[in-house]
Amino acid sequence: MKLQVLAITLLQHFSNAFVVSNSRIKTTELFGSVRGLESGKDTSVEPTEGGMVLYVKAAEDGKSVGDCPFTQYVRMVLEEKGLDYDVRPCTAETKPQWLIELYEGKMPALRHRRECYTESEVIAQYLEFFFSGDEYASLAKPKKKEMAEASEVVGKIFPALAKYLKHTPDGDDEDDELKSGLCEALNLLEAHLTSEGRTGPFIVGDGEHVTLLDCNLAPKLYHMKVGVTAFKDNAVGVDDDFPAVAGYINTIFNRESFTKTKYPEETIVWGWGNARSK
């Protein structure tokens, strides 16, 4: 399939996809993400033929995988589907030139042979769309209404968390307001997880099956668990105040796709420490 045709196919398919970190993906945003599939005039900077490679933010040492929750989202999808891939941590100095010239250096970036995709949700949807045959493990595909309802709840978590963790000084009036905002988001998640008709532990629909949304949420809850302890003196008591959320965290954190892709807690502390100092 020609790259331009593939880009149009993806654009049409992804127009109904969900961005969990905020709201639905906008068509213009998707086009901006996939337009790099177009062949550049300088073929020397295009991705080379080969397998599946994920370019990701590097940790403090410049060599190991960094703290990006969006990268872990993509990696969890890859693991859930049993796909082989290489991970290449990059710093600003070690990014491939073609990634900078064709894709503005955005990461995570998934290169699959001569194609490349940026934006974690676009990558996840690409993997789900093209690797869903019998030879691949498929994540559950819930009804659109169920996905939309769960996405609305999940989408409030990370924005509230990021505002809270970034804020200094800790413990002032604004900090308390931001903490309340995170707790409100967790209350919505708690209510969703305990709603009538749920029979399983996962996030969408009746909770019986893992979906893309679980892969999206798990890394962000990992950041919450580590960040609130490291910077906010464990001011949000998830175990006591949000028992269903605590149970979900225990379940998803013990899933192999999570344990194989998580980075050390100190890497998360390093990342948020940098964000708090700006």
> Which positions ≥6 away from 2 have C-beta within 8 Å?
none
Which residues partner with 89 through β-bridges? 56
Place of tokens 């990701």: 56
Whose CA is closest to 115, among 216, 211, 30, 1?
1
Strand segments (E) across the chain? 52-57, 86-90, 109-112, 115-118
Which residues partner with 110 through β-bridges? 54, 117
Choosing from 68, 90, 116, 215, the catalytic residue is 68
Place of tokens 């790259």: 3
Does the annotation mark 68 as catalytic?
Answer: yes
**How far lies 170's CA from each of 159, 177, 235, in Å?**
18, 11, 10
Q: Is the dihedral of CA 132, 135, 137, 143 positive or negative?
A: positive
- Strand 86-90 vs strand 52-57: parallel, antiparallel, or unpaired? parallel
> Could you list the active site residues?
68
